[in-house]
A and B are shown apart, each in its own frame.
Chain A
């Protein structure tokens, strides 16, 4: 039915096509300077102050500021400690890194498979640089724009409430093919998670049987000290220069935010010493990480980052990033909603069902644990809806948004997402989209974890200074990036942002943000998709 190869060839001769360069990218421009230790780039950032007049009109005043970026060239030897290392995500990340390091191939009934990092932005996506002399579009892998840690060089470790070694845990996860698992077993048998901080009241009761590998003390001050010691040990025994901690454990319930307990850094430290019951295990891990100078990423929806934690991160100048990995249905939703509203369709209903059978889902059957998840899944479209006052007029004019999650053990890690979107189109036309999306939950999530570790390490090497044209200001001393790493919102269902920053949920914009920041760091202009040299030749 479709033999379009001929047409494709014809088409290819008419247009100029594109190609991907595989090596490192080097930018030649007065705005960028490559030195042995640093890449220096200056970037004129243009933004707009919008002055709203009384009659509703707006005076837009473009402002230009010159940013000077300085990126340390050498990636450091990176360790990644996962909280929940023995879970499906943790074992899948580990298996992938080992399989890629050892170049382990495996057979399935279909074919022989090679290990890969598909699904990872840094490892498997590309970005456009410009035209070459033949007029071809040149794309480069994202990882070739700046030196980044290679995933194969990441040293893995972490904690788990289950004492299973990583080989057994991988078998239990039922994510990877048996042939691959048997080849990986010798490499993973000796990996055993550290004893975890455990507090029964923060996770579902049905997790109790798994909790065989927990710290012997229930004193939170002592637990904190032990976790800090674990991080220090890991860093020194593995001879690491930089460690990132990522929570990929189960969803906890929300911690209650209480004045005097977790509202400031010092109150929080006191509350930990006093083993206050509203200090969650995840907050303990996070505080341990911050005190050890290690960035902390929260891959689940709970409020690990209580105000006291945020303050502590700022005081210590340690990066934090959250909340809740955006890997499946919500990721798709943040594409579709952006697409539909961006086209001028008014979404009226979004009814989204999920079912799966892994342990994360098992624990979400507990109503209290479900609450944070449900909140993070529900809020993802708000900013996109709010941005269109043509379609949505006022508060009552909203979307019926339903999220259902069900536990179906038979399916294991294979997640099914069934969604229906109904939109009002032109002249009351109804546009209905029904979607069935199936994937291994951990295969979606694992590449995100690697990306996060790689990007956090990269952004910790970035410093900036600002010069403002008119006022002639100059901030001579470089300083590090904002500690709440909202630039990684692409990976997060509810991106944690610095105070006063609007949330952006649209996936395309989040990707553009990461890509354009990388471009700025090497003096490339932002991708504006204009291709003016062809449309307005000079």
Chain B
């Protein structure tokens, strides 16, 4: 296998200028007709030509976090500074260097293709298209607590002491803007933290101040694009009330009237949309009431949500997909969590927990529904979610899950998992991924024969589902929670816009036949057969049907099965 740092795509379907990259892509749309009285499905294929246009110039990006002084906000800030300034630190086990592990954009790779030796060539995902580099991101934001970011980082107890010490001088001067605090929406135990809040209870004034904050941030920091992202604690659900938050007009009127059911997060979202800044909801509450979604549509601003998928739920969306896809029937999913950070403290209140519980429990629904062989229409696995506040463990989250499944002929498969990780170290790289991809998607437009010129993606940015527990999708669209499908979706949209074909994992040149297609450029059928024969001779000469290809980057792949010496 070969690993490369960057690559460019050539081909007649790709047009590149200094400013834009345009790619033609034939999308096969499959419509299914079910005969009313029959169980037979008829799939009708229609080819739709798309042209994707990507502006190549990356915007100077500013990210404003709601809850900047929380564990996620301070961890992200410290990590970006540490990476940019290459601040290393000492631990009991030796020195450590900063990194961006856990970010799918910055630390995962995609298969580009095969080189002339037949080896797979991989490249980092961020090389597919020009994207913001994390070093270039400017951070800012609000918090209901006035602690500066250095203090917030110490309070979070996430980074090693030595790293905290080295970061303090860089973070002391960073202070969050005053935030919106309506006690009814978050747990009463948060009251003591609320010492940095906008005065009064006039929601229009609050809205205007937030809008002004965004404008000033954009101007002062000289950024082209601002994204606002909620990483604060969970609110209770807002009631969706006709006349209040069901349409864009009603919602704006309700803010004017300072209606009670307008939550702080909806206020931030509305401010953000009105300023043309995409808004991402990293908590489970229903910030995106119908009026808010409508407003985003009208203003043509991206919104994405809900709730970061970082730990237990992420793992669950792998496990259930794996089981159901293998034809195994999960019948009970019992999930216990305990943690001791402020988010855990807030979630110890029943109505905040309820928000969390809902976003956590829907995550298996699509996978269950996709298989009516295993599950009847009305059938659903038992699914329990418990979260407990345990101050001692602080940010170190523990997730314990038991998955019980029915397998072949009444057999039972029981999987028990115990996951430990710093909550904020899981969430911070997701925040990076969300804003980097969101900035990129702001630069991509598409055209088909029936669109009116180039259009932006749907305003509900469901491409980002990979990072979210309960992905908000355009209305009438199925939700996809399976993690591998979500990752494939991101990878494939990036591939398509860069001019690469979608990854179909088929490798027909190998699986279907052994003819070496790469040597065929000027050949004819007879030569193909000769190549085929030569291939065989070579391989006889080598003495074995190799178990895989040799590797350029690692000698481990060259190990023959008999040579491998596992440590037992």
Contacts and interface: CB of A to CB of B under 8 A. Distances in A.
A467 to B, nearest CB: 11
A503 B549 CA distance: 7
B350 to A, nearest CB: 11
Given A15-B478, A118-B329, A484-B545, A375 B561 contact: yes
A391 B516 CA distance: 31
Given A427-B159, A538-B448, A11 B362 contact: yes
Contacts of B501: 46-48, 62, 64
B568 A374 contact: yes
Contacts of B384: 1-2
Interface residues of B, number: 195
A205 interface: no
A302 to B, nearest CB: 9
Contacts of B325: 125, 511
7 contacts: A29-B43, A60-B9, A311-B536, A429-B422, A438-B413, A499-B538, A534-B474
Interface stretch (A74-82, A193-201, A224-232, A490-498): A490-498
A48 B504 CA distance: 12
A526 B506 contact: yes
B477 A129 contact: no
A2 B236 CA distance: 16
Interface stretch (A108-116, A156-164, A278-286, A287-295): A108-116
Interface string B534-568: 01101110111111110101111101011110111
B153 to A, nearest CB: 12
B525 to A, nearest CB: 5
A133 to B, nearest CB: 7
Interface in A320-340: 323, 331-332, 335-336, 338-339
Contact of B27 (A95, A115, A532): A532
B32 A529 contact: no
Interface in A28-87: 28-29, 31, 45-52, 56-62, 64-65, 67
A429 B420 CA distance: 10
A28 B44 contact: yes
A8 B365 contact: yes
A382 B417 contact: no
B1 A58 contact: no
Given A131-B32, A391-B101, A20 B370 contact: yes
Contacts of A504: 505, 507
A133 B511 contact: no
Given A18-B366, A398-B556, A339 B318 contact: yes
Interface stretch (B104-112, B221-229, B272-280): B104-112
Contacts of B328: 118-119, 124
A535 B411 contact: no
A58 B108 contact: no
A177 B8 CA distance: 60
B137 to A, nearest CB: 15
Interface stretch (A209-217, A236-244, A341-349): A341-349
A439 interface: yes
Contacts of A257: 543-544
A129 B544 contact: no
B160 A176 contact: no
Nearest to B6: A57
A443 B415 contact: no
A117 B545 CA distance: 33
Contacts of A338: 484
A424 B45 CA distance: 45
B241 interface: no
Interface stretch (B115-123, B183-191, B208-216): B115-123
